[in-house]
């Protein structure tokens, strides 16, 4: 007898196997209903935030796995997972563009329903901060254990695993900073300068976060190369 592909066979909620596996009924009920909205652009605003949290859930899981692989000495695996984590962060940066279509005045209406809710409380971003520190610790332990001279690594073959790993970390650090730069521009484009956010933080204080470095040693080594390079003595 021919198989009936139209029949749902999985357990779970929803009319189809797609709905049951992807949990679409629950997922699509997580946005405010039109009748509860103060402005229809709340849908856009919530979806940008919610999808960011989903991508960051992946970014965090991959970064945590990368830290574990680093500790286990699997450098190439760690680099690959870091690449995936960094790409997830990059995708959240791209979707910030959607907020450019939100007018400053519309946001003033949306702001009235946000309470003291702020990006400072984002689980995805809090997780990234924690994992940045964890990755830094794992990399420092590796460098110590193998007595690696970072400047020597950077003067040498870019295809050795430790060089590739160092670059995967720099890439990750840079993707986070690029999100922060984009977010700062979007935030000021919408609410202006010299004002505070929903958590009371001055919007311009976001600038200092843009220059934050998760892996200072990997930035410092570049400075060292410049200072010790052929042009090093030229100021
Ligand atoms: C209308 C668009 C947005 C505006 C006007 C805005 C504004 C702000 C402001 C003023 C702050 C400073 C803290 C405060 O008092 O709240 C902040 C922080 C933050 N926001 Fe947004 N934001 C917007 C969109 C987003 C989106 C889409 C996300 C994604 C989850 C996000 C995540 C964050 C994070 C993580 C911080 C902490 C600062 C950091 O770690 O760089 N924001 N935002």
- What tens digit of pLDDT does each residue of 51-69 get? 999 999 999 999 999 999 9
Q: How far is the CA of 120 from the centre of ligand 1 (A)?
A: 7
- What tens digit of pLDDT does each residue of 191-215 get? 999 999 888 889 999 999 999 999 9
Provide CATH 1.20.58.480 ranges for the chain.
39-228
195 lines ligand 1 (CB under 6 A): no
Return the best residue to mutate from 183, 184, 196 for the ligand 1 pocket (most ligand atoms within 8 A of CB).
Answer: 183
To 10 degrees, what angle do helices 42-71 and 75-95 make? 170
Return the best residue to mutate from 57, 119, 197, 199 for the ligand 1 pocket (most ligand atoms within 8 A of CB).
Answer: 119
Q: What is this structure's pTM?
A: 0.95
Q: How far is the CA of 122 from the centre of ligand 1 (A)?
A: 9
Long-range contacts of 197-200 (CB under 8 A, 24+ apart): 197/118, 197/119, 198/111, 198/114, 198/115, 198/116, 198/117, 198/118, 199/116, 199/118, 199/120, 199/121, 200/116
Q: How far is the CA of 15 from the centre of ligand 1 (A)?
A: 37
Fold classified for 39-228: Methane Monooxygenase Hydroxylase; Chain G, domain 1 (1.20.58)
Provide, rounded to the nearest whole percent, the portion of the chain with pLDDT above 90: 93
């Amino acid at each position: 007898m021919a198989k009936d592909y139209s029949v749902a066979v999985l357990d779970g909620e929803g009319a189809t196997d797609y709905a049951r596996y992807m949990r679409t009924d629950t997922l699509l009920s997580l946005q405010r209903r039109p009748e509860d909205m103060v402005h229809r652009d709340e849908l856009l605003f919530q979806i940008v935030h919610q999808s960011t949290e989903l991508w960051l859930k992946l970014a965090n899981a991959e970064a945590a796995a990368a830290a574990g692989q680093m500790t286990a000495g699997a450098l190439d695996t760690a680099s690959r997972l870091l690449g995936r984590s960094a790409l997830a962060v990059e995708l959240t940066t791209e979707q910030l563009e959607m907020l450019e279509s939100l007018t400053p005045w519309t946001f003033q209406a949306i702001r009235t329903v946000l309470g003291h809710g702020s990006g400072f409380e984002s689980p995805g971003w809090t997780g990234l901060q924690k994992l940045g520190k964890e990755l830094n610790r794992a990399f420092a332990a590796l460098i110590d254990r193998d007595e690696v001279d970072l400047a020597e690594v950077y003067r040498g073959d870019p295809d050795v695993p430790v060089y590739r790993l160092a670059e995967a970390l720099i890439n990750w650090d840079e993707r986070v900073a690029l999100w922060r730069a984009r977010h700062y521009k979007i935030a000021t484009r919408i609410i202006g300068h010299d004002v505070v956010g929903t958590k009371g933080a001055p919007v311009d204080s976001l600038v200092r976060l843009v220059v934050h470095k998760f892996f200072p040693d990997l930035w410092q080594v570049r400075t060292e190369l410049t200072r010790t390079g052929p042009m090093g003595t030229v100021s």
